[in-house]
Amino acid sequence: MRELERKDILDLSSCGVAAYSAATIHRMKTELLLKADKPRQPGGEKPGKLLVVPPPADLPCMPEFMVATIGELIQALRSVFSKRGRGSGGEEDKVLLEVFDVRLDEFLVRIEERLEEFLEGLRRIFDGKEFVDVREVFRGADRVEAARRFILLLFAAAKGYVEIVEDEELRVIAVKWNGGAGGA
């Protein structure tokens, strides 16, 4: 070794500097890791804003699927909006109840009238076909009209005029006509 150093073939001083530098870097990283493991002082943390979560509304429904009539839903909404103790109450509660004041008989009569018109439109869409893509039912409708058509489609399915069918393999939702022979 001494012979190699004397002839300037091997310089071990640079190897020593590299080993010393690597050891120093390793020690500094280890100290940072150990410093991060120390528990923080509880008094040093600033308290954040407390998030106030209101209690959930107690609906008279079980979380599982449950068949509820429109009257029961309206009654549940009225009972939720009429509860006192959630603020000032008073006139605001009365205004909310007036907004949700639904005459069930009038509502059902209007649904029946619109359902007849909707079924006539469906007969034209089906025109001898058994299945129709659900997008054809909503073609050319703005958002409000699409929402109306969707609700009427659900009512038509509930009355057995149509079925809403989903093909999971093709990822297609279709409407099947049940209301007459071949949709005519």
CATH number at residue 126: 1.10.10.580
pLDDT of 153 over the 80 cut = yes
Question: What is the pTM for the complete model shown?
Answer: 0.44
pLDDT at 85: 44
Chain segment 2-53, per-residue pLDDT in tens: 776 677 666 666 667 777 778 888 888 888 887 766 666 655 555 566 777 7
- Residue 112 shares a structural domain with residue 91: no
pLDDT at 24: 85
Query: Exposure string (b/e) for 33-59, b if CB count within 10 Å is 16 or more?
Result: eeeeeeeeeeeeeeeeeeeeeeeeeee
Domain that holds residue 75: 70-99
Q: Is pLDDT larger for residue 147 or for residue 45?
A: 147
**Total count of domains within the chain:** 2
> Locate tokens 């038509």: which residue?
156
- Residue 179 shares a structural domain with residue 108: yes
Average pLDDT over residues 145-152: 89
pLDDT at 183: 43
Task: Round the average pLDDT of the chain to a whole number and report it.
Answer: 74
Q: Is pLDDT larger for residue 121 or for residue 55?
A: 121
How many CB atoms are located within 10 Å of the residue 134 CB? 16
Percent of the chain with pLDDT over 90: 4
The secondary element (H helix, E strand) that includes residue 132 is strand 131-133
32 found inside a domain: no
Please give the Cα distance from 29 to 59 (Å, whole number). 57
83 found inside a domain: yes
Average pLDDT over residues 80-84: 65
Contact 183, 123 (CB under 8 A): yes
Please give the Cα distance from 88 to 84 (Å, whole number). 8
Please give the Cα distance from 24 to 31 (Å, whole number). 11
Please give the Cα distance from 93 to 79 (Å, whole number). 11
Give Cα separations from 167 to 40, 45, 73, 148 (angstroms): 56, 55, 31, 24
- Residue 117 shares a structural domain with residue 85: no
Point out the domain boundary residue: 99, 114, 143.
99
Chain segment 90-102, per-residue pLDDT in tens: 565 565 556 556 6
- Residue 95 shares a structural domain with residue 142: no
- Residue 178 shares a structural domain with residue 127: yes
Contact 163, 176 (CB under 8 A): yes
Please give the Cα distance from 74 to 70 (Å, whole number). 6
122 found inside a domain: yes
- Residue 115 shares a structural domain with residue 91: no
